[in-house]
Structure 1
Amino acid sequence: MRTKPQVGEDDAMRSEVAATLTMSSPEPATALLQIAVADPATEQLTVLSGGTAVEPEEFEVHGARVHRLQLLAGDTTVTYSASVEEGAAPRKVTPAEWAEALRPSRYCPSDQLEGFASTEFDRTLPRAELVPAVAAWVNRRLVYTAGSSRPVDTAVDTLLLGQGVCRDYAHLTITLLRALEIPARLVAAYAPGLSPMDFHAVVEADVDGVWSVVDATRLAPTRSLVRICSGRDAADTAFLSLFGGVAQFRTMTVTATTDGPLPAPDDAPFPLP
């Protein structure tokens, strides 16, 4: 259990998130988890592996909270829950983040779409207008289709296919923004209001020196998102990675709620705490 002093006003929005993952392996294996929220008020993470309680090892990778688990042979169940209080300050773009978020990455080969992006978008627009314009373009261009993409698909594959899921929408948005020389990165989040409920992928872009969120899927209010972690693309933000043996992912259940009415959808870039 992790707790921190409560912050903010008494009427600040409070979100409750949870996730349960199951996996199995005929022999010991190692798992890396990125399901813990970035700034919890309270949280609890429990792991039962091979009938035995396992203590997760927590560390940071580029600011993301990662838990490493040494799984025993047999079935493993991971249960996570957290409460989050609204009120953290917006995140300013550091020079190192600025540089990293401009470079092409595994799923976001922005150098391949520079000419295309320059043809499709007006680079002279202020970023507060250009960033949502790119997200809106991706929303119109793609059709949200569960199971339509492969884990290895890049943003170029998504553009040609014309469909995908949230990570594909995020990768194409990021790639076009970087092609327009706007730093952008992927954010993994819990998303109250999302249907069907799942982990969600959205985009953060540098708008006047502040990381600001847009969601090209428009499937959940950006103002209710709960940050898990951010990275260059999905390679940095995977909720589960399994190594060693023949470990196999089985099932997942995700929930995310707020203690009041959900905010109205907002297409404008929004600083996510």
Structure 2
Amino acid sequence: MLFHVSARLEYAVRFSSTLILNVHVQHNESQSIVTEQFGVEPVVPLEHFSVPGSDNRFVRLETGDAKSLTVSYAATVDCDHDILPTRNLEELPVGEIPPEVIPYLFPSRYCQSDKLARLAWDLFGKLPTPHDRVTGIVDWIHNNVEYLSGSTDSGTSAYDTVTQRTGVCRDFAHLGIALCRALNIPARYFTGYSYQLDPPDFHALFEAYLGGRWALFDATRLAPLNGLVRIGSGRDAADAAVATIFGGVSTRLSKVECKLGEGQNFTPLDRGDLTRAAVALETNTDATPEA
């Protein structure tokens, strides 16, 4: 499936600062980049880099004397979403999980699975299959946490979200990850461009490792899972934030788009479809997070 994605970010700069941006789409076995453009006005020193063991693509910008910055990104991406029958998503004991996936079982900064273990086992531990457990987690979050813009901040964790019962897509993703890990199901954070997301924006959700595959789950239900383009993945948002700012920079504008490519026919998967199948948009399974 072909998608056109774009982002325009405008920043006000109070003093010389550094930004690390993660807006470039990944290039991997499930995503191929057909065209891509990136620009910054005014011209400032920048560096493109990736962290070893990750497919995330970062840009580091030095603002210098600039008082404002405009960042523009656009790409045409061909995505291959796999549909995974749930009957193939079998139980994978911890003793059989590949070593490179094991770090996604551990608690992390925003996903304190160790603090949510009793809740997770009480609510979902008796469900018959790992897919049922993850689906149960997604349904529970959707039904018990209110999606409310501006209700949380960059420090909000999964434990906070359980207490506050409000959040945005990032918080829904962190809570899903934490509850999965508490049930010994590896889970990781996903950020990307999302077709049919309203209003358009960067979108966060999570992946669970089931039957040897990374399957996508979204407790917000704001967009179809087969309309995603991956930007980044990691243990939580600390590994895959769209923008990390060091200094005196504030956002003036964030405009994001994801459009269907010419000649494409798109059929969104709904909640009913996801009881029988899961969606995968995988990266290299040997990408291990840094310690």
Superposition TM-score tier, normalisation by shorter sequence: 0.7 to 0.9
CA distance in 2, matches of 1:152, 1:108: 11
Asked if the contact 2:82–2:279 (Cα under 8 Å) also holds between the matched residues in 1, the reply is no
AA of the residue aligned to 1:269: A
AA of the residue aligned to 1:69: L
User: Alpha-carbon deviation of 1:42?
Assistant: 1.5
1:59-116 superposed Cα distances (whole Å, 9 cap, x missing partner): 11241111111213211100000111123779xx983442111000111100001111
CA distance in 2, matches of 1:264, 1:124: 23
CA distance in 1, matches of 2:49, 2:194: 24
Aligned to 2:193: 190
Two-structure CA RMSD over aligned residues (Å):
2.0
Q: The residue matched to 2:74 in structure 1 has which SS? A: strand
Alignment gaps of 5+ in structure 2:
28-32, 84-95, 283-291
Asked if the contact 1:47–1:56 (Cα under 8 Å) also holds between the matched residues in 2, the reply is no
CA distance in 1, matches of 2:169, 2:197: 11
**Pair 1:269–1:113, CA change in 2 (3 A):** same
Aligned to 1:263: 268
User: Alpha-carbon deviation of 1:130?
Assistant: 1.9
CA distance in 1, matches of 2:97, 2:22: 23
Asked if the contact 1:33–1:68 (Cα under 8 Å) also holds between the matched residues in 2, the reply is yes
Q: 1:66 aligns with which of 49, 58, 67?
A: 58
Q: The residue matched to 1:118 in structure 2 has which SS? A: helix
Q: The residue matched to 1:119 in structure 2 has which SS? A: helix
Alignment gaps of 5+ in structure 1:
1-12
Q: Where in structure 2 are the equivalents of 1:1-273 lying within 5 Å?
A: 13-39=1-27, 40-49=33-42, 53-54=43-44, 56-61=46-51, 62-63=53-54, 64-73=56-65, 74-87=67-80, 95-123=98-126, 125-244=128-247, 246-259=248-261, 260-265=265-270, 266-267=273-274, 268-273=277-282
**Pair 1:164–1:58, CA change in 2 (3 A):** same
Aligned to 1:4: none
Asked if the contact 1:22–1:77 (Cα under 8 Å) also holds between the matched residues in 2, the reply is yes
CA distance in 2, matches of 1:56, 1:101: 31
AA of the residue aligned to 2:9: L
How many residue pairs get aligned? The number is 255
Aligned to 1:8: none
**Pair 1:97–1:145, CA change in 2 (3 A):** farther
Given the two structures, how large is their TM-score scaled by the length of structure 1? 0.87
AA of the residue aligned to 2:256: V
Q: The residue matched to 1:125 in structure 2 has which SS? A: coil
1:160-186 superposed Cα distances (whole Å, 9 cap, x missing partner): 111111011111111100000000011
CA distance in 2, matches of 1:173, 1:54: 39
Instruction: Report sequence identity in percent.
Output: 39
CA distance in 1, matches of 2:148, 2:106: 28
Task: Decide which moves more: 119-128 or 233-242.
Answer: 119-128
